[in-house]
Amino acid sequence: MNQMPQVTEMEQAYLERDATYEGLFFLAVRTTGIFCRPTCPARKPRPENVEYFPSVQAALSAGYRPCKRCHPLEVDDQPGWVSDLLAEVEGDPAPRITDGDLQTRGIDPGTVRRYFLRRYGMTFQAFTRARRLSRGLNQIRENGSVDSAVFESGYDSHSGFREAFARTFGDAPGRYRNGETLFLDWIRSPLGPLVAGATSEGICLLEYSDRRMLEAEFATLGKLFNATPIPGTNLHLERLHGELEGYFAGTVRAFSVPLVYPGTPFQRRVWEQLLAIPYGETRSYQEVAAALDDPKAVRAVGRANGLNRIAIVIPCHRVVNKNGELGGYGGGLHRKRYLLDLERSTMR
């Protein structure tokens, strides 16, 4: 992987549309979900909304879509069939384009594989999968924000989400014959749609669906469990559904669904310490570090806290600043406040 320049240097480069930085980095805009070349002619995003990536692959894997103005996927000597394929996938990433489909178009699948691997660091199939995933999640995010009336009416299945989610994945089932299955499902909540994941062992993911890192998280989990994420449900996910419903109703104070949270020994100790914080209470980062007999590890505790993959159930929202301020929260401070208020209100 190539080494990116310093952030201040990259910021300067894209503000000045400096062509000498072409290929050295790509910038992605969190608010729009689009990634660009440093020389993009579009209006400059605010630096605080920009995320930098060393490669097209990294930007795609993080769920960003290529900009329609600066076409970051294109290169000067790009063959016509590549441009055609890219345009086709960008127009609608849902249909599967098989090796047979490629051959019908007079394109050699081996050539496609080699080209995509060399140019984008991923196979054509992985490329289209990343685009489907990104589009499906964006649909879930958009539905989730405009569809608040549905949230209030309960947790029953809503076809729009289900379809968007199913379109996202749904490769031929034969692909998943080997290894563990990682089921992904969405769960409606008063805080917006949550995406949940489970293996046969237990819940391994619960995240707010508007978090940009979700796509990358799926890839990480897939590697950790040697599994391909597919839409679906299992007993653990069904149990989580029920327990979360109770939690948000204020009737469930402890989760009993099994959890799997692979991590470093230190991270696992932190997460276990979080699980030990009682419902309705909070601890400071210092207190968590002290409970680990590692009082100097405050910052490391903060980092491990931020890497928690099972929001709400592993209650990282119960860790606050020493002065009583809320501190940070990956899902946004309004959600942290909501969870803490919910827990305190049911304790009265």
* Residue 40 binds Zn ion, judged by CB under 5 A: yes
Please tell me what DSSP assigns to residue 122. Answer: S
- Cβ proximity of 204 and 237 under 8 Å: no
Q: Which is nearer to Zn ion, 70 or 137 (CB)?
A: 70
Nearest distance in Å: CB 10, Zn ion? 15
Bridge partner list, 188: none
Which residue's entry shows tokens 């899902």? Answer: 331
Nearest residue to 301 via CA among 328, 325, 324, 279 = 328
CB 231 within 8 A of CB 165: yes
Active site residue 316: yes
**Pick from 235, 31, 279, 4: which is nearest to 138 by CA?**
31
Tell me the site size for Zn ion, rule CB under 5 A. 6
Q: Does 28 bind Zn ion (CB under 5 A)?
A: no
Nearest of 164, 163, 199, 159 to residue 180 by alpha carbon: 199
Minimum CB–partner distance for residue 34 and Zn ion (Å):
7
68 or 118: CB nearest Zn ion: 68
Pick one of 10, 27, 28, 36: the residue that binds Zn ion (CB under 5 A): 36
Among the listed ranges 69-77, 138-146, 161-169, 319-327, the one in contact with Zn ion (CB under 5 A) is 69-77
The one catalytic residue in 36, 40, 67, 204 is 36
- Asked if 67 touches Zn ion (CB under 5 A), the answer is yes
Q: 89 or 221: whose CB is closer to Zn ion? A: 89
Beta strands in 203-244 (DSSP E): 203-208, 227-231
- Which of 58, 319 has the CB closer to Zn ion? 58
Shortest separation between residue 210's beta carbon and Zn ion, angstroms: 22
Expressed in angstroms, the distance from the first to the final Cα of the chain is 54
Report the candidate in 186, 282, 307, 315 with the shortest Cα–Cα distance to residue 241: 186
Q: Given candidates 19, 69, 84, 110, which one binds Zn ion under the rule CB under 5 A?
A: 69
Q: Are 258 and 202 in contact (CB under 8 A)?
A: yes
- List CB contacts of 228: < 8 A, sequence separation 6 or more: 171, 175, 176, 179, 181, 182, 222
By CB under 5 A, residue 102 contacts Zn ion: no
Name the one range near Zn ion by CB under 5 A: 60-68, 154-162, 238-246, 316-324.
60-68
Q: Which stretch binds Zn ion (CB under 5 A): 23-31, 70-78, 158-166, 190-198?
A: 70-78
| CA 348 distance to own-chain centroid | 36
For the CB of residue 16, give the shortest distance to Zn ion in the complex, in Å: 15
Select from 8-16, 65-73, 130-138, 317-325 the region that touches Zn ion (CB under 5 A): 65-73
Is residue 175 a contact point for Zn ion (CB under 5 A)? no
If one asks whether residue 82 binds Zn ion (CB under 5 A), the answer comes out as no
* Residue 73 contacts residue 34 (beta carbons within 8 Å): no
Question: Residue 337: enclosing H or E segment and its boundaries?
Answer: helix 333-347
CB of 306 to Zn ion, least distance (A): 30
Stretch that binds Zn ion, among 6-14, 37-45, 121-129, 328-336 (CB under 5 A): 37-45
**What is the rounded distance in angstroms from the CA atom of residue 125 to the CA atom of residue 262?**
28
Asked if 346 contacts 250 with a C-beta cutoff of 8 angstroms, the reply is yes
Distance of CA 86 to the CA centre of its chain: 23
Q: How far is the CB of 36 from Zn ion (least distance, A)?
A: 3
CB of 67 to Zn ion, least distance (A): 3
**H or E element that contains 181:** strand 180-187
* Catalytic residue selected from 40, 67, 204, 316: 316
Site for Zn ion contains 70 (CB under 5 A): yes
In three-state secondary structure terms, 326 is coil
For binding to Zn ion (CB under 5 A), which residues are involved?
Answer: 36, 40, 42, 67, 69-70
Active site positions, annotated: 36, 316
